[in-house]
A and B are shown apart, each in its own frame.
Chain A
């Protein structure tokens, strides 16, 4: 349903993945206090948040580990890295004495960004694509474009930078799970943006 202009361009600009959020189930109850006290890179502040925040350096990621055994891993720049990082966290937990497993590893969200290198006329874009775009300068300087297929939300800024992700404001938690979706979305939006290029 995206209005597409039949041009095949995208002159070599590829969106870079910036962040990947994934979840995994370690399938065992965890004693957060024990983990926090025996792990080097762990923070635990029960008053503020009910999870241990652990970080590893390679790949550079942060994980939230909950007492139910569920874990959220963020900060990786690729799917493989995210998986590796999650496994490392699981291994740490294992070594601390819990029977951790590695069930249901799932990538929840991917964020990519790129630069089209020309200024974009956001007002024009919101006029012609109003069923997809929402532009509220009072609230946020970028235009929020909700592409239907693939279901991706793009934040388009006047400077030509575009951020692609799958949810904004946590309205719905489904969307880009595949890197290809992000690329596809960018390829869809690029001709449209070119149409609103500042002369």
Chain B
């Protein structure tokens, strides 16, 4: 059926076969997993799954959903519980049913659930089965198993003792874990929104705080160590300028820290962003100090921008935090806490505006926390610095995917681009030509590099892609050379389709021989016997099992498979099956094959030396249509089939009388 719907084209044979096999397994309810089949075939299970889904859909066969309970006996057996196998299985089944009632099984791999159930059941019966053993049997990941166990733990059933569990069945049902997680996230989001709103309300107090900060920073300045003290406000400015230029490639990447900390803080870890290093003008010895600020910090520009955009929020937070954090050990604690907050904030956030604001406020809070507290030399300078400078990059610009060109130190363009994010795109009405309405030219210009920048980028790009360019040049050179020599072939790497000529043979037997020679099939074929095929030497027919190209071993196992044999016998019976048939046979053969054979035959001046044995179920085969050929050949085929006494006969009968209405026309390309 699959072939008749042309589903085998473009797909690996083995995949299609495995998919069909799995379909049967599902309808029968055998405990075979798609995973097993993919293991056998060594293909990605999702690829196989895709084929399987397609097949099921096209054939309108809906396999019943797999029940994890089906797998229990199989896995239990593998886990070797000995005498208590049955009991453990029963317990595991009961556990599974409980999981089902608790909505843990929807959308999950049944094997994972089984694994968890079996593990718990085993423990309940005093079997020490480690997680590793279970996962090797069940074929899920350890983390999956743990997750299932955790989810089960969350259900009220887990609180029961062993005996209670066996007797009682709790009434309540839980929500699926994904649903509860979703609800929790929603609530968190709402909380954050409320929080950010509250922060904005305190906007008015900013200026006073700003002054207070500046004063404090001034006070703490003298504490700066020698090396760092050399960094004046100007130095800071420059540094900020640098950091401005060397924008991060993505938020959260280790960046040039704003402030300067004492060298002891270098222990905090963190690295300089690579882009910063070359462009920095800060004295080298202070770099490690800078690095020590915090590895998780967002770009200072971000802080700047955030400060500008929601200064009120940040300072309000700042105020609260200041009180909180005053007594904390400034260096280490702040660093780490800030890291945590920052990373967590960044972990959750995406580019949605409200979340950005919340994130910004968080970060600002941290930033200020760091700034505050006198023990931070230089940080004061840093804080003092940014405030004055008004370069508010919008959050989106920094959090979005920034171009690599940024790391080249293109300060001007970046400054331009970040300064105006709020252009309202007017409504556009387009036509054939590019309608420029609503497009701000300035904005577009910002996306274009100037000469110097372009050169730098070109240099970098060439370096990056040097190998590729080299390959291209070589390829071109090669082509040019071949052109000269006149032997240049287009599309060399493509496999050349060998178009063999139809075999001219006077007897079917000869045809077979020639074909076999051409095809270079196994030497196990007894040619002499083949020659006698027309005289129906059924018994001695050599098994052409060894036809590698045409069969996958899996085929022969499935009773439901369409006639893998048929093809073989078809070619065997030769019916002059020309090269075309021999070469292009597909496993999912339908009665079409017979027609194909017939068509193949038509190509050849095949004589009717084959004794027509009109016996046998020929119903299937002959479709008068375009096929010019003779029932006899087909009959012969069938007989050959029958003589082989193989399961394919039953399949044949299965398909017998079933006319798929395929014409020879559909033998496309054959």
Contact = CB atoms under 8 A, between A and B. Distances in A.
B7 to A, nearest CB: 12
Contacts of B175: 119, 198
Contacts of A88: 439, 443-444
Interface string B103-120: 101111111000000000
B62 A130 contact: yes
Given A58-B423, A131-B60, A37 B461 contact: yes
A41 B417 CA distance: 12
Q: Which one of B54, B433, B445 has the greatest number of beta carbons of chain A within 10 Å?
A: B433
B57 A158 contact: no
B15 to A, nearest CB: 14
A198 to B, nearest CB: 7
A3 B184 CA distance: 34
A102 B430 contact: yes
A122 B428 contact: no
B88 to A, nearest CB: 24
A72 to B, nearest CB: 17
Nearest to A135: B65
A157 B107 contact: yes
A89 B65 CA distance: 47
Given A57-B397, A60-B400, A123 B443 contact: no
Interface residues of A, number: 60
Interface in A90-112: 90-92, 94-96, 100-103, 105
Contacts of B404: 43
Interface stretch (B44-52, B76-84, B308-316, B503-511): B44-52
A169 B50 contact: yes
A39 B448 contact: yes
B400 A142 contact: no
Contact of A138 (B66, B441, B444, B446): B66
A95 B443 CA distance: 12
Interface string B438-454: 11010111111100011
Nearest to A142: B107
A78 B439 CA distance: 17
B62 A131 contact: yes
Nearest to A156: B107
A115 B425 CA distance: 30
A36 B453 CA distance: 12
Contacts of A141: 107-108
Given A122-B107, A139-B45, A90 B454 contact: no
B202 interface: no
B401 interface: yes
Contact of A42 (B60, B111, B403, B423): B403
A58 B49 contact: no
Given A84-B438, A160-B182, A138 B449 contact: no
A38 B413 CA distance: 13
Contact of A84 (B107, B413, B425, B454): B425
Interface in A133-153: 134-139, 141-142
11 contacts: A39-B448, A40-B448, A46-B468, A57-B421, A60-B400, A94-B434, A100-B434, A102-B435, A103-B432, A138-B35, A169-B50
